Amino acid sequence: MEPFPHRYTVTASGKETNSHITVAASGLPDITTNAPSEFGGPGDQWSPESLFMAAVADCFILTFRAIAQGSRVQWNQIQCQATGTLDRIDREPKFTEIQLHVTVTPQGDISTERVQRILEKAEDSCLITNSLSATVSMTSDIQFA
């Protein structure tokens, strides 16, 4: 791992004659986005709001993976569903609450309590949610194969 601080640069560009926005970063494929249906967009493309929730869910799983590896805990599959509530606070729209629902299938002889501790540590350590003012809560479903 490289020493902190890390910097990430993304460029978004659009045209007046087209509602699509192109999001680009060096070395990555471009993503086309649009406003969600709640804001008058078509609702059939990634939006800033859906990308935001994707970042939360993705970060949670990457954090879980790192913690599980460091704890020598093996697992077969994990899924994180992130649901964000966007509301107006003092006339400004902001995400006020994020609910994570995590389903994980551990591998080997491990207790439910140990898996739950790793999930909770991942929730506490996720850099995306740690950067937010929204309240984050998690429910989990630990399924043994």
pTM comes to 0.94
Domain annotation covers residue 38:
no
The 10s digit of each residue's pLDDT in 48-59 is 999 999 999 999
Domain region containing 110: 48-142
Q: How many domains is the chain built from?
A: 1
DSSP per position, 89-123: ETTEEEEEEEEEEEEEEE-SS--HHHHHHHHHHHH
Give the Cα-Cα-Cα angle 43, 47, 51 (nearest 5 degrees): 135
- Residue 69 is assigned to a structural domain of this protein: yes
What size, in residues, is the chain? 145
* pLDDT per position as a tens digit, 66-91: 999 999 999 999 999 999 999 999 99
CATH number at residue 87: 3.30.300.20
Tell whether 65 is covered by a domain: yes
Q: Are 125 and 131 in contact (CB under 8 A)?
A: no
Neighbours of 100 (CB within 10 A): 22
Question: Residue 23: inside a domain, yes or no?
Answer: no
pLDDT 10s digits, 32-49: 999 999 999 999 999 999
The pLDDT assigned to 1 comes to 84
Is residue 37 one of the residues assigned to a domain? no
